[in-house]
Amino acid sequence: MHEPAVPHLQAADPEIAGLVEAEARRQFEKIRLIASENYVSPAVLEATGSVLTNKYSEGYAGKRYYEGQQNVDPIELAAIGRAKGLFGVEHANVQPYSGSPANLAVYLAFLDPGDPVMGLSLPMGGHLTHGWSVSATGKWFTPVRYEVRADTGRVDMDEVRDLALKERPKLIWCGGTAVPRTIDFPAFAEIAREAGAVLAADIAHIAGLVAGGAHPSPVGHADVITTTTHKTLRGPRGAMVMSTAEHAKAVDKAVFPGLQGGPHNHTTAAIAVALKEAAAPDFSRYAHQVVANAKALAAALAERGYDLVSGGTDNHLILIDLTNKGVAGKPAAQALDRAGIELNYNAVPFDPRKPFDPSGLRLGTGAITTRGLDEARMPQVAAWIDEVVRAAARADETVVERVAGEVRELLAGYPMPGWAPTP
């Protein structure tokens, strides 16, 4: 059952309680490889479900627009202090509702409508909010897009430099949502300096790896850093904008009153809890294990003939191009989901297929590492993925059902925070 238990929910709304219980069980029984997901601790769940959700707190500690902030102020200050300590930044704003609003705050802080903004193109691994056409950021600003190289699958810093000096963006984003390789923050900083641009590092995916010392930090290189708190950082759904002291005022004004009203205090408390967890030595071990697992899984997939974008991974994320397997991303992802292996179909760089039916799969090891799986298990996971992808190519459902059973059996031995067998 769900942990903490939800007896009041069960009594008041059995329909929703039943679905919550079913979701907890689903998360227990599946190998969850969606690169942006994780399992938060019971402590984070409790903070998220607390009475802090009842309180309105527009403004910042000491300068609120509503009374009764005796407990909320110290909670938000704790979250800010922990973020500053963990990442080594001069300023942190913990109020953004999620990653996309955090990124919007950066535009509001540094740009005027129509200004040029440079980011990694979406089909190359960039995020919608880095100036993609369907996003407000692509409609209200003038996007300039860099890509990865076709031969390496990696961003070429000479190409980024040439483009930046030609187009003179006011803001440059580095980071992305399907980037399996280390981001070269010093090189981006150098280019931004030459081009006279603000450098924003979006570490939404890799924040936990940065905090745990398993990926280089953008601190000291980027003017502003945005992150979600719920991916590898393993906190609640939320986000932060971090910066040098110089930009503190602009960042805070952009988040509130620029974009948002009252902060979600229950989320702020849960962020504080997650940041405390991320500062513990255990978390550094976790972050390094995430990367070790991704490297082991990538090696096992490559051994089975899978074409990995950029040839492998430096972080938690793997991007597979399925073209040589004779099956598209979507049917493969759907068959894998039926087999108890949850991931998402994804475009690969220079994908000849349509965005809603692309050629690739995206995987990440953040969640399975929280679950306790290690490198020794990765060849088995790769073997299951391979069996199911090959079965999907010939629509063989018996393989899918067999693998689902084997997956459930393996995971029964790996406890999950948030769910426990009914006593």
Ligand X SMILES: *Cc1c(COP(=O)(O)O)cnc(C)c1O
Examine residue 229 and tell whether it contacts ligand X (CB under 6 A): no
Q: What are phi and psi of 168, to 5 degrees?
A: 50, 60
Examine residue 205 and tell whether it contacts ligand X (CB under 6 A): yes
Q: Which among 25, 64, 237, 338 is annotated as catalytic?
A: 237
Least Å distance between CB 124 and ligand X?
A: 12
The residue at minimum Cβ distance from ligand X is: 99
Which residue, 34 or 383, has its beta carbon nearer to ligand X?
Answer: 34
Examine residue 100 and tell whether it contacts ligand X (CB under 6 A): yes
The DSSP result for 101-138, as a single string, is HHHHHHHHHH--TT-EEEEE-GGGT--GGGT-TTSHHH
25 annotated active-site: no
**Spatial contact of 202 and 127, defined as CB atoms under 8 Å apart:** yes
Least Å distance between CB 342 and ligand X?
A: 17
Query: Could you give the CA distance from residue 174 to residue 181 in angstroms, rounded to a whole number?
Result: 12
Query: Could you give the CA distance from residue 209 to residue 3 in angstroms, rounded to a whole number?
Result: 26
Least Å distance between CB 229 and ligand X?
A: 9
Which residue, 219 or 299, has its beta carbon nearer to ligand X?
Answer: 219
* CA-closest candidate to residue 162, choices 186, 176, 144: 144
Examine residue 175 and tell whether it contacts ligand X (CB under 6 A): yes
H helical segments located in 130-199: 136-139, 157-167, 185-195
Examine residue 204 and tell whether it contacts ligand X (CB under 6 A): yes
Select the residue interacting with ligand X from 50, 98, 244, 323 (CB under 6 A): 98
Query: Could you give the CA distance from residue 170 to residue 172 in angstroms, rounded to a whole number?
Result: 7
Query: Could you give the CA distance from residue 139 to residue 129 in angstroms, rounded to a whole number?
Result: 11
Examine residue 176 and tell whether it contacts ligand X (CB under 6 A): yes
Examine residue 362 and tell whether it contacts ligand X (CB under 6 A): no
Least Å distance between CB 129 and ligand X?
A: 6
Query: Could you give the CA distance from residue 115 to residue 104 in angstroms, rounded to a whole number?
Result: 14
Please list the helix, strand and coil fractions of the chain in percent, rounded to the nearest 5, in that order.
Answer: 50, 15, 35
Which residue, 96 or 417, has its beta carbon nearer to ligand X?
Answer: 96
Examine residue 38 and tell whether it contacts ligand X (CB under 6 A): no
Angle, vertex CA 302, rays to CA 324 and CA 39, nearest 5: 105
Least Å distance between CB 104 and ligand X?
A: 10
Query: Which distant-in-sequence residues (6+ apart) come within 8 Å of 133 by Cβ?
Result: 139, 143
Which residue, 122 or 300, has its beta carbon nearer to ligand X?
Answer: 122
**Spatial contact of 198 and 221, defined as CB atoms under 8 Å apart:** no
Place of tokens 């850093």: 225
Which residue, 39 or 419, has its beta carbon nearer to ligand X?
Answer: 39
Query: Could you give the CA distance from residue 140 to residue 3 in angstroms, rounded to a whole number?
Result: 44
Examine residue 48 and tell whether it contacts ligand X (CB under 6 A): no
58 annotated active-site: yes
Query: Could you give the CA distance from residue 267 to residue 45 in angstroms, rounded to a whole number?
Result: 10
Select the residue interacting with ligand X from 27, 31, 32, 36 (CB under 6 A): 36
- Contacting range for ligand X; rule: CB under 6 A; set: 136-144, 170-178, 278-286, 309-317: 170-178
Examine residue 37 and tell whether it contacts ligand X (CB under 6 A): no
Examine residue 93 and tell whether it contacts ligand X (CB under 6 A): no
Which residue, 129 or 265, has its beta carbon nearer to ligand X?
Answer: 129
231 annotated active-site: yes
**Spatial contact of 41 and 277, defined as CB atoms under 8 Å apart:** yes
Examine residue 119 and tell whether it contacts ligand X (CB under 6 A): no
User: Residue 59: beta bridge partners?
Assistant: 64
Examine residue 342 and tell whether it contacts ligand X (CB under 6 A): no
Least Å distance between CB 132 and ligand X?
A: 11
Q: What are phi and psi of 144, to 5 degrees?
A: -125, 125
Query: Could you give the CA distance from residue 282 to residue 289 in angstroms, rounded to a whole number?
Result: 11
Least Å distance between CB 407 and ligand X?
A: 26
246 is in an annotated binding site: yes
Q: Which among 32, 145, 231, 371 is annotated as catalytic?
A: 231
149 annotated active-site: no
Angle, vertex CA 56, rays to CA 51 and CA 57, nearest 5: 115
Report the binding-site residues.
122, 126-128, 246
Residues that bind ligand X (CB under 6 A): 36, 98-100, 103, 127, 129, 175-177, 202, 204-205, 228
Please give the positions annotated as active site.
56, 58, 202, 228, 231, 237
- The binding site for (6S)-5,6,7,8-tetrahydrofolate consists of 122, 126-128, 246
